[in-house]
Structure 1
């Protein structure tokens, strides 16, 4: 018996509620422009990892897809098309304006015009590295050695920006060379795996400032930017409970005092996270290349440090480099710690709003753009992550106008002001953490130490 027209219509369309049921790793559907795709198998080999797909599973994800994919990606969607369309597909006014803006930028060629920033950055990095090595090997002055350590920290900052750019868009002529640039800038020169960075950074972009989905806000027991962490939230990124126990309460109670010292030694945690991922059972793209690159770093860096005349200078050299690099770690936290936060999975239908609510720009003169690596325009970067940094200042007024039109926040502070509001956020949570009427999970080791000395 042939299907009737009504049967055909029912087969071709599903509702948003029906789409939401397909939100598991073994049954993962998404909608883009109202067309429904089954990306269950694709999630296992997705270049951006499975986390972004899982976080937005069962939803229309058009805005996020436009943000992270070039126009050439659309042609690959048909192979995953289920044959269904979203019956109640709607586009909000702000999403419509955002998509129009992205189309205008694409037609203007902004995503392809990368300028000469990569050449300038590589030249600057090479000059800095040469100066560092020369200062360590060819000079005997203690002051020169400490200055060399500081310059190494500045080198790592610039290298990180270049690695960040290569992770978001192709800075080299081919994908192969781009991957080489990622391994070189991330693993070989900084000791931080580009695979680890992609894993966490993509999740951060998709779930910007979600307390339980964004790994960039999950820093217990050291930091808590919201009192919601006092409820021992479950991290859906790390798949474990972020326990707020006695140890967490102690550290968080003083976090506005420990913020800067922790930023200085934060690099040790990045090294640890790199090793935990690369030697885990989790699927890691290019695992061998990442491990090899990290081994390159842990060969040249210790050898350079050992060239210094004594252990006092060696320790101070490393401390000087870490202290300068802390400026970058501080900048990353300034962009988000004091912004709006929420609990729960990200939603595809308010993606633009979540980016504006969860980010803070840093105001600076154009001659300082090199120092901030373009990431002082954090909102612009979050809205258009594939846009080369040389265009972020140009599009800032347009983004401000769009935020104003839709009554959305656009916050931009000076570096000093951003530090102030971040410290206020940390202090407010710290004072709440000191409230002993709020119960915490007991930490047996902590209780034993305090009971028996």
Structure 2
């Protein structure tokens, strides 16, 4: 339906109150009630955009062909700049008949209670330093609220104002950047770039087979792990449709690489990763940082958060009390065996209703299950059980091959775990949110193959469909964009980036210690 009716804010709010999924794209008002069941990216990405201007998100996540198809869901237009509602999934309330709008808060007028430095390493400790002065005054709930507010204050002091004009200007400049990227051809994939990649994969796999033939089992395990580490970058590319930009072709590539070669579900990865990209580092919404009881990157987890992705509560229990104080020290050991958790999550996803509800599940789901079954037959039975002669060697082979993939897991967490986890509300622009919650890793061009494009995570979050071989070229444009609009572009060397992540983990552990002392102090007063 193509409708040019002008819809005002109260009308749109009323439609959302009736349960309709209303999203703004440009000047168009889209009703996505029928599209949500057909959306290849799942339901949650749409639910997170309800009531918001999703122009930038729709632009960077979809092809021009899909953008044309979305016109069929237009029910009207707006004739003035849009001010975002908080989506229902994030706690926004929409009552029928309620025509009153809350006054928009100008972040310039928000009092900054804590004084912070612009230096990044000082930012990480400023919250704990401020909390330490007054922690004994608070109950657990108040302590968490105060810690969260202090972290918000840090971001408000470090990033552009959240007023509508400032954020609108950021969006306008981002769309200009998007056009520059397209005009420069950086959004196009040149298949020839994968030539050297394929040579590398074949070499590593051949060395694995050669070492296995000579019964150098541990050496063979190392090469197998390195093969997994390298080839999974292709699965990441395919998951973002960054190879051919064709859903079916890239999905088949992703299933072959992730499910058949590595035993990991590309469907699970896309399901969680799509949400991660839209709400990066949000404790309640981003599954990539929901790792309690092993890790907590925000004090918000102290209160047993309910995950909107998993639909369940991450309880703060005795296990969390045991592991979180040590997370700075257990980080690398757990990263060594993180792949086992991905196996578990992959199978949980494939047997869940979430996988069955996708419109493409009629062929992707059985194809994935078949490919993962083949992986376990080849790896588990043919290789580990039938080829390796003894149990000690079998255990060693499995552990070494999986430990060899550890740098990949460190690289994935490096991009976000040291960055902000605060929610600045629905008024924050897409570009600012991505840059505020994501860091890049600086490395020479000749080392790009080790990082697989993940070192350009901030650039990638702004342009998720951009082929990874073009990310370095786009980095210069992103730097210029950040300088122009006054947003900090965060980039560290690999070692410094690790220090930032460890610093954040240590910071949260310190806050937990303060909370424990606070509770003991209050208990003693009773």
8 Å CA contact 2:295–2:323 kept in 1: the answer is: yes
Secondary structure of the residue that 2:75 maps to in structure 1? strand
**2:105 equivalent in structure 1:** none
In structure 1, C-alpha distance between the alignment counterparts of 2:14 and 2:219, rounded to whole Å: 58
- Given candidates 132, 147, 154, the residue that maps to 2:208 is 132
Question: Is there any run of 5+ residues in structure 1 with no aligned partner, and where?
Answer: 1-7, 441-453
Kindly state the Cα deviation for residue 105 of structure 1 after the two structures are TM-superposed: 1.6
- What TM-score do the two structures reach when normalised by structure 1? 0.89
Distance 1:218 1:397, change over 3 A: same
Question: What is the aligned counterpart of 1:301 among 379, 403, 413?
Answer: 379
Which of 377, 393, 408 is equivalent to 2:487?
408
More displaced stretch, 332-341 vs 276-285: 276-285
- Cα shift at 1:48: 1.3
Distance 2:491 2:427 in 1: 25
Alignment partners' CA distance in 2, 1:360 and 1:405:
18
Structure 1 residue 165 displacement after superposition = 0.4
Mapped to 2, the partners of 1:178 and 1:221 lie a distance apart of: 35
Pick closer, same or farther for the CA change 1:234–1:320 going to 2, 3 Å.
same
State which of 71, 86, 92 in structure 1 corresponds to 2:168: 92
Shift of 1:248: 0.9
Match of 1:216 in 2: 288
How many Å apart are 1:337 and its aligned residue? 0.4
Count of aligned pairs: 426
Do 2:325 and 2:512's aligned partners in 1 also have CA atoms closer than 8 Å?
yes
Q: CA deviation at 1:118?
A: 2.5
The reply on whether 1:105 has 2:181 as its aligned counterpart is yes
Distance in 2 between residues matched to 1:349 and 1:171, nearest whole Å: 31
C-alpha separation in 1, matches of 2:242 and 2:199: 18
The aligned counterpart of 1:40 is: 33
The worse-fitting range, judged by mean Cα deviation, of 208-217 and 91-100 is: 91-100
TM-score, normalized by length of structure 2? 0.77
Contact 1:24 1:57 in 2 (8 A): no
Give the drift of 1:178: 2.3
Aligned to 2:421: 341
Q: CA deviation at 1:108?
A: 2.6
Q: Is residue 2:13 matched to residue 1:14?
A: no
Report if the CA contact (8 A) 2:170-2:429 is conserved: no
Instruction: Give per-residue Cα distances to partners, 1:163-190, cap 9 Å, x unaligned.
Output: 0101112524954432221110111011
- Residue segments in structure 2 that go unaligned for 5+ positions in a row: 84-166, 521-526
Query: Are the equivalent residues in 2 in contact too, given 1:249–1:434 (CA < 8 A)?
Result: no
Aligned equivalent of 2:136: none
2-side partners of 1:212 and 1:89: how far apart? 25
1:432-443 matches, cutoff 5 A = 432-435=511-514, 436-437=516-517
- Report if aligned partners of 2:326, 2:509 keep a CA contact under 8 Å in 1: yes
- The whole-number CA distance in structure 2 between the counterparts of 1:193 and 1:431 is 36
Aligned equivalents of 1:181, 1:33: Cα separation in 2: 33
Quote the residue 1:362 is aligned against: 441
Displacement after TM superposition at 1:23 (Å): 5.0
Question: Hey, what's the Cα distance between the residues in 2 that align with 1:99 and 1:437?
Answer: 49
Partner residue of 1:202?
274
1:149 aligned residue (198, 221, 224): 221
| 1:396 alignment counterpart | 475
Change beyond 3 A, Cα 1:13–1:20 = closer
When residues 106 and 148 of structure 1 are mapped into structure 2, their CA distance, relative to the original with a 3 A threshold, is same
What is the CA distance between 1:259 and its match in structure 2?
Answer: 0.7
- Going from structure 1 to structure 2, the CA distance change for 1:348 and 1:113 (only over 3 Å counts) comes to farther
RMSD: 2.2
- CA separation of 1:86 and 1:265: change in aligned 2, threshold 3 A: farther
